[in-house]
């Protein structure tokens, strides 16, 4: 859980737009991977050099392949994350005692260790649902944008912020035991987003919004429910 949270924070929350836009520059790629390692070391709570070096090397190599070799599409994104997560899981299995060396676990009373892991699970769920989910959905929707002929109007990042807010609300409702409230958010968005679509010529825009909405809500529901189950296991 420590390595997974470090990866998610470093790869999504702390990877800035400037890094994404300039990643083809080797120095920027190295900076990004350095940030991932720094965040991982902080979450890990120790300078476990074999783990950090292996993550650094594998992450740098995979990001270099994704940046300069693979096309910028959904398949490349999924493959990239699969490799990163496979490395994280492999290291967790190869060094099972690394977590016990974490300064965070040493500072916590033994009965509260499960709270620490539950907290990391919740943080990971937020990152997966909101920024990571936004990137995933944006990658899926990118080919559809080309069919709209610039028909989408609105704020430059309006769709991104709406997606973040709606997935945040979904996670909040699931974790507070109010899954039925998700339906109200979906209904409210439908009324607001479709209110201005009145002509048959805007059918493509309507379909684009419907697909994006279901992807956004579906992803948030999946992540929130899996995370909630994992937290219940930690707390058992």
Tens-digit pLDDT profile for residues 46-77: 889 999 999 999 999 999 999 999 998 999 99
CA 108 to chain centroid, in Å, comes to 28
Per-residue DSSP letter, 154 = S
Residues 90 and 158 in one domain: no
On whether both 101 and 149 belong to a single domain, the answer is no
Number of domains in the chain: 2
Query: Residue 205: its pLDDT value, please?
Result: 77
In a domain, 207, yes or no: yes
Residue at a domain's end among 55, 73, 106: 106
Query: Can you say how many angstroms the Cα of residue 199 is from the centroid of all Cα atoms in its chain?
Result: 36
- 63 and 130 fall within a common domain: no
Q: Does residue 213 form part of some domain?
A: yes
> 33-42: long-range contacts at Cβ-Cβ below 8 A with a sequence spacing of 24 or more?
33/59, 33/60, 33/63, 35/10, 36/6, 36/7, 36/10, 36/11, 37/10, 38/10, 39/6, 39/9, 39/10, 39/14, 40/3, 40/6, 40/7, 40/10, 41/6, 42/6
What is the length of the chain? 236
pLDDT of res. 113: 85
Give the residue with greater pLDDT, 160 vs 119: 119
In this structure, the answer to whether residues 135 and 231 fall within a common structural domain is yes
> Would the pLDDT of 229 be above 70?
yes
| Cα distance between residue 37 and residue 33, in whole Å | 6
Domain boundary among 50, 71, 106: 106
Residue 77 and residue 47 in one domain: yes
Average pLDDT of the segment spanning 143-149: 75
Residues 173 and 204 occupy one common structural domain: yes
Residue 121 within any structural domain of the chain: no
Tell me whether residue 74 is exposed, middle or buried, using C-beta atoms within 10 angstroms of its C-beta: 0 to 12, 13 to 18, 19 or more: middle
Q: Is 83 within a domain?
A: yes
Are 15 and 35 within 8 A, CB to CB? yes
- Cα distance between residue 121 and residue 125, in whole Å: 6
Average pLDDT, the chain: 88
In a domain, 99, yes or no: yes
Q: What is the largest CA-CA distance in the chain?
A: 63
């Amino acid at each position: 859980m420590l390595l997974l949270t470090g990866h998610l924070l470093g790869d999504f929350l702390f990877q800035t737009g400037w890094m994404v836009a300039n990643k083809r520059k080797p120095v920027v790629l190295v900076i990004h991977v350095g940030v991932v390692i720094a965040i991982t070391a902080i979450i890990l709570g120790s300078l476990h050099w074999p783990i950090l070096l292996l993550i650094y090397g594998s992450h740098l190599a995979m990001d270099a392949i994704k940046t300069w070799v693979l096309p910028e599409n959904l398949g490349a994104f999924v493959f990239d994350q699969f490799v990163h997560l496979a490395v994280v899981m492999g290291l967790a299995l190869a060094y099972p005692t690394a977590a016990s060396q974490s300064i965070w676990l040493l500072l916590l009373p033994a009965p509260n260790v499960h709270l620490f892991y539950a907290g990391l699970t919740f943080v990971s769920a937020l990152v997966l649902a909101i920024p990571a989910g936004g990137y995933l959905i944006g990658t899926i929707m990118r080919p559809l944008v080309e069919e709209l002929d610039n028909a989408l109007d609105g704020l430059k990042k309006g769709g991104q912020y709406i997606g973040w807010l709606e997935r945040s609300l979904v996670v909040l409702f699931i974790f507070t035991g109010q899954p039925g409230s998700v339906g109200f958010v979906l209904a409210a968005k439908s009324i607001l987003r479709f209110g201005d679509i009145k002509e048959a010529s805007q059918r493509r825009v309507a379909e684009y919004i419907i697909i994006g909405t279901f992807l956004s809500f579906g992803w948030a529901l999946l992540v929130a429910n899996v995370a909630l189950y994992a937290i219940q296991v930690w707390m058992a």
